[in-house]
Structure 1
């Protein structure tokens, strides 16, 4: 586990905004929680704060946007869907509920002044008992094409986050995501890689990055157990080198969940059954230094 603090990292020509997920700090989106997340994100030296839209009704858009702007932070938004609002369903009523939630989410993103809505936008977040049907996939393509077209008019891009087989049956690998993006056919749809999910589904940490190349728009950095970076089994040097090879300049966001912080409802959705850490500040500072160190190392190799 690295103990490097961001300020101790050698200076590099860093082009990537470095972010942290708000669930490292707080479990919800009440104004007091958002204020805390913004301040702690700034104090830990990050450039971007990612907000989960699982509690949109408690999110103060104007206040959150103002707080982030004052702190000099960019905002990104992410979400998944529930099984009763699953756009990959064969049931038109279920699909309609999911489509409505996605368009409401786009309203939130616009209200926050963000340009990124990403996540499992294409399905419920949970284990399916059967493969995706042809009708279900067609529903995904139709809903996300319409959403992308509306998003383009608002200056927002949509990310297809690739999740593991226990959280979706729609997109599990980079090549799955590329096929879905091709079928949606809109220029503002990008691929979102997550090392935690890649560790389960991909053969290595280089090939998917090279496959996606300039269509990669967002990255989640997380350990195989979602704890401290460097304390697990993920081949981060190979992954960061691959990012350097394709010239990736988009956001790199640290994501980690612990039952010490995440709300019980979301803990159940994400299967967060244990506390891998209790001190989010220490976790995040170390993650910031870890990411900087690997970016610098990869840049020096490719220089």
Structure 2
């Protein structure tokens, strides 16, 4: 693990400059070394100021997003694909300008519950769009990572095997996978096996409980997950993600089906998550060392 981070939605809905700066400060206060922001529209935020705050606090910024249906690069309509490509290009520039090091999320389709199967042409359009975006990201010094999400949030990439096929189709070495334990416990038969399958093609990793709340309060078996990450030598960022309607806005609550709050106070949640992840990581390292000696 390179750095341990936290999603800004633990602290703020993200609609204001003051909220994002507060999220940076709270993350640093709790000892997190990176933070994840949602899509940063340059016309709404002072990116230079956020970049300076990030540097002052030594908290690295990453950005994730999902495309809206009217800008779906996996659509068949050329105008929707073109609009999606433009949004992705704008996002790469915003990440660069805020001093961020990665752009992730549902970049390959809309973030929505689809009412149809994906199409061959839609897959091809998405592959082409991501390949083009990868070139822009590489030139900007920004990692491009594709989040694999559950069937209710995209119809295109739900499993590690699908994600690996997709990035192979892009032909780009700059595209990696963004795995998330919340989504994996829905879609993967064996999340630990999926982590090992992806190996060094994982560029970013989300830790989230099955109920989106406190780690250890749900159904995820954490030891195999951390054992797999240690076994593959994962050396990139791990970020804790949790949502509550007490913090995030209604649109995200609807998109992510946050129908009940598993927490309302963010400070204890953030403190617990950091302790939990660091403990599980250290335990996995000890198990690996013990196994290596026997």
Q: Say whether the fold is shared (TM-score over 0.5).
A: yes
User: Structure 2: 5+ residue runs without aligned partners?
Assistant: 290-294
Q: Provide the rounded CA distance (Å) in 2 between the counterparts of 1:26 and 1:56.
A: 18
Q: Which residue of structure 1 aligns with residue 208 of structure 2?
A: 222
Q: Does 1:184 align with 2:184?
A: no
Q: Provide the rounded CA distance (Å) in 1 between the counterparts of 2:9 and 2:41.
A: 12
Q: Provide the rounded CA distance (Å) in 1 between the counterparts of 2:245 and 2:115.
A: 26
| Alignment of structure 1 residues 70-85 onto 2, 5 Å | 70-85=56-71
Q: Which residue of structure 2 aligns with residue 251 of structure 1?
A: 237
Superposition TM-score, scaled by structure 1 size: 0.93
3-state DSSP of counterpart to 2:23 = helix
Q: Quick check: 2:71–2:80 contact (8 Å CA) kept in 1?
A: yes
Q: Provide the rounded CA distance (Å) in 1 between the counterparts of 2:142 and 2:18.
A: 27
Shift of residue 29 of structure 1?
A: 4.0
Superimposed CA distance per residue, residues 223-281 of structure 1 (whole angstroms, 9 cap, x where no aligned partner): 00100001001011110000000000110000000100001122122221221111111
Q: Which residue of structure 2 aligns with residue 27 of structure 1?
A: 13
The one of the two structures with greater contact order (alpha-carbon pairs below 8 A, sep at least 6) is: 1
Q: Provide the rounded CA distance (Å) in 2 between the counterparts of 1:250 and 1:134.
A: 33
Q: Quick check: 2:13–2:247 contact (8 Å CA) kept in 1?
A: yes
| Alignment of structure 1 residues 142-161 onto 2, 5 Å | 142-161=128-147
User: Structure 1: 5+ residue runs without aligned partners?
Assistant: 1-14
| Alignment of structure 1 residues 83-102 onto 2, 5 Å | 83-102=69-88
Instruction: Tell me which of 151, 163, 183 is aligned to 1:165.
Output: 151
Instruction: Tell me which of 119, 124, 137 is aligned to 2:123.
Output: 137
Instruction: Tell me which of 247, 253, 263 is aligned to 1:277.
Output: 263
Q: Does 1:262 align with 2:248?
A: yes
Shift of residue 201 of structure 1?
A: 0.2
Q: Does 1:103 align with 2:72?
A: no
Q: Provide the rounded CA distance (Å) in 2 between the counterparts of 1:155 and 1:295.
A: 29
3-state DSSP of counterpart to 2:172 = coil
Superimposed CA distance per residue, residues 64-90 of structure 1 (whole angstroms, 9 cap, x where no aligned partner): 111111001111110001111100001
Shift of residue 16 of structure 1?
A: 2.5
Shift of residue 102 of structure 1?
A: 0.6
Q: Does 1:289 align with 2:289?
A: no
